[in-house]
Amino acid sequence: MAIDNPNVDYDNGLLVPGGKPGDLQAAVITKQREDYQERFAPLEQRLRGMTDDSGDKEANAASEAIHNQNVITRASFQRDLARTGTQVTKRQQGAIDKARGLDMARSKANIENRTRRNMKDENMQTKGALIGIGRDVQQGVNRDLGTASGLQSQRDQANRNAKQQSKAQTQQGIATVAGIALAAFL
């Protein structure tokens, strides 16, 4: 949305002679908003989209790491048994495998849940930062608009005061001329 105001030279950011300063301020504020919309709003949208990630990818990677760790532990255990010459019965091996399976399932569930929870926390922090950025931008615009409005009010008041002073001086001049004319006739 571009403002088309004949009182503002948009190319140079200058006020055209005879233009109102409020027009220039409005044009500057509008340009700032357009710049935000063109450059930063798309980035904000992408970041917001990234914060909707559930963390499944990271949780799966962590679960895979637990699985790989379990495979290494099992191989190490088997090497230790072979090195010591220990024979394990099928029943013992079944109990060991069952305990290992339960431990691996518990470890996978814990790491997946912890990873998802951490991702959710990080996403909430990022969303909070994005909200803070948006709030700062809005506060800046409101502050600039308030300043522009205050300055325009001051200019309007100064113009009213100047008109009243001019009117008072004109009336005083007329009264002086009338007094001199009256004195001349008396």
Domain boundaries, the chain: 1-50, 51-185
- Residue 17: predicted pLDDT: 56
d(CA 59, CA 51): 16
Higher per-residue confidence, 78 vs 138: 78
Global confidence as pTM: 0.51
Kindly tell me if the per-residue pLDDT of 104 is higher than 80.
Answer: yes
Kindly tell me if the per-residue pLDDT of 8 is higher than 50.
Answer: yes
Helix (H) or strand (E) holding 170: helix 90-185
Compute the average pLDDT of residues 141-150: 74
Written as six digits, the tokens of 158 are: 């100064």
- Residue 3: predicted pLDDT: 52
C-alpha angle 147-148-150 in degrees, rounded to nearest 5 = 65
Contacts of 123 (CB under 8 A, 6+ apart): 51, 52, 53
Angle of helix 90-185 relative to helix 41-50, nearest 10 degrees, comes to 150
Higher per-residue confidence, 12 vs 180: 180
Band (91; pLDDT cuts 50, 70, 90): very high
Kindly tell me if the per-residue pLDDT of 1 is higher than 50.
Answer: no
Higher per-residue confidence, 98 vs 127: 98
Compute the average pLDDT of residues 166-171: 90
Residue type, 79: R
- Average per-residue pLDDT for the chain: 81
Query: Do 130 and 47 meet the contact criterion of CB atoms below 8 Å apart?
Result: yes
- Residue 98: predicted pLDDT: 93
Band (60; pLDDT cuts 50, 70, 90): confident
Written as six digits, the tokens of 150 are: 């205050």
pLDDT more than 90, % of the chain? 15
Contacts of 73 (CB under 8 A, 6+ apart): 100
Of these ranges, 22-36, 102-116, 144-158, the one predicted with the greatest mean pLDDT is 102-116
For residue 116, count other CB atoms closer than 10 A to its CB.
16
